[in-house]
Structure 1
């Protein structure tokens, strides 16, 4: 748990859906992060990249009450994960879209396939790659949904993808569509897949920033006392 320990082994803080005025009213994933980071209580703290924070809020609200406390060990991992590098927006979009694409509904698959192609186009420009280059993960994800992939290619043909438009519209839409797609998917354990989506997205973002120190363990203990704890 990133060097943090609760007062009682096997106990995790209670995380709740939605936005809360203070810890005694409840705490969502990002509100808990704001407290650990020493910031003003908020579900939009400055310590985390806005798009990554959006993924965390959506997963927090979509996952079941039973599983939500198991997200808590991931909270310290988002603190300090922020960058102005647009590659972080691309990394988040590619990860969530590739994770959700195989299990999402047909309508959402189209949105996610377009998002992958748009993100790869941005990466073409940023990394001076040949137009139409795909990462292995994107190619594998699209190959699993050939109908949606072809629809997306037809839709995107001739369309221009600007960085500003991607960051403002395409990336947030992909994040929302991916989380909703997993949450509503006909799979045996959507909670596990939502957890994996968030964990892998955090890992991808962490690869793009400098290593950071861990939050003060005392603040973790204080936050747990405020929110209450649950045994898992």
Structure 2
């Protein structure tokens, strides 16, 4: 959707929550509007972790650049999954994006969270290679934060947790997005936009994989001969 061609009756993207479309809309309120759901910034049509990322990016993006997020709104509709790893990967993606530019104190907390997430994901079967590469590149740009985090965890934890709650993941996302928004760089808005785009791509990977698995299971349990009879009818009508 091109924000420059929106109807004047459509809500305008702005920060925060809004009581109704006449007062504006945040990213996820607009998604609820397009999905035909009740007006809300927590619609059912989108995974809660991805919606959390979208709300944060919406609120932390400058007023001048916020409408550039609008074309991505339709792409979050229908992105839902029960896989707990998505929250962790979103948090890891956000941490990797913020580590190179955030202030030192924020870098340290993000590095701790990222190391715990890495260990947790490894305990649950590992994380994608491209994600691990981005995390290691982020640590390379903030080596002091990584050293501090490893030292902190070594002193205060005998072993790293084997799980991380959705609430903790979403708090880490909020800290990362805020860190990018406050960083002393000249492309804060572009970095936030790229992070949201990557988060949407991650969610698509989970949802698409689940749909393929469901279709495969459905085909496997279909009555014998169903497919061939359909094929015969199509052949006969050709």
TM-score by length of 2: 0.78
Whether 1:155 aligns to 2:152 is yes
Aligned match for 1:8, one of 5, 8, 11: 5
User: Cα gap change, 1:58/1:77 in structure 2, threshold over 3 Å: closer, same or farther?
Assistant: same
* 1:159-170 equivalent positions in 2, closer than 5 A: 159-163=159-163, 165-169=164-168
Please report how far the alpha carbon of residue 106 of structure 1 lies from its aligned counterpart in structure 2 after TM superposition: 0.3
User: Cα gap change, 1:118/1:7 in structure 2, threshold over 3 Å: closer, same or farther?
Assistant: closer
User: Cα gap change, 1:48/1:63 in structure 2, threshold over 3 Å: closer, same or farther?
Assistant: same
Please report how far the alpha carbon of residue 180 of structure 1 lies from its aligned counterpart in structure 2 after TM superposition: 0.8
User: How far apart in 1 are the matches of 2:39 and 2:6?
Assistant: 26
Aligned match for 1:124, one of 122, 125, 129: 122
Query: Match for residue 91 of structure 2?
Result: 93
Residues 121-160 of structure 1: CA deviation (Å, up to 9, x unaligned): 121121168xxxx822211211211110011112223243
Preserved CA contact (<8 Å) 1:122 1:162: yes
User: How far apart in 1 are the matches of 2:25 and 2:179?
Assistant: 24
Please report how far the alpha carbon of residue 9 of structure 1 lies from its aligned counterpart in structure 2 after TM superposition: 8.1
Please report how far the alpha carbon of residue 173 of structure 1 lies from its aligned counterpart in structure 2 after TM superposition: 2.1
User: How far apart in 2 are the matches of 1:6 and 1:17?
Assistant: 16
User: How far apart in 1 are the matches of 2:161 and 2:136?
Assistant: 19
Residues 3-34 of structure 1: CA deviation (Å, up to 9, x unaligned): xx679389996201111111111111000001
User: How far apart in 2 are the matches of 1:128 and 1:185?
Assistant: 31
Preserved CA contact (<8 Å) 2:119 2:160: no
Please report how far the alpha carbon of residue 210 of structure 1 lies from its aligned counterpart in structure 2 after TM superposition: 2.1
Query: Match for residue 73 of structure 2?
Result: 75
**C-alpha RMSD over aligned residues:** 2.4
Preserved CA contact (<8 Å) 1:15 1:68: yes
User: How far apart in 2 are the matches of 1:183 and 1:204?
Assistant: 22
Please report how far the alpha carbon of residue 177 of structure 1 lies from its aligned counterpart in structure 2 after TM superposition: 1.0
Residues 42-90 of structure 1: CA deviation (Å, up to 9, x unaligned): 0011111111111111111111111111100111111111211122012
Query: Match for residue 192 of structure 1?
Result: 190
TM-score by length of 1: 0.80
User: Cα gap change, 1:40/1:9 in structure 2, threshold over 3 Å: closer, same or farther?
Assistant: closer
Query: Match for residue 46 of structure 1?
Result: 44
Preserved CA contact (<8 Å) 2:95 2:172: yes
Aligned match for 2:103, one of 95, 105, 119: 105
Moved over 3 A (4+): 5-13
Preserved CA contact (<8 Å) 2:3 2:70: no
User: Cα gap change, 1:120/1:38 in structure 2, threshold over 3 Å: closer, same or farther?
Assistant: same
Structure 1: runs of 5 or more not aligned: 213-232
Preserved CA contact (<8 Å) 1:13 1:72: no
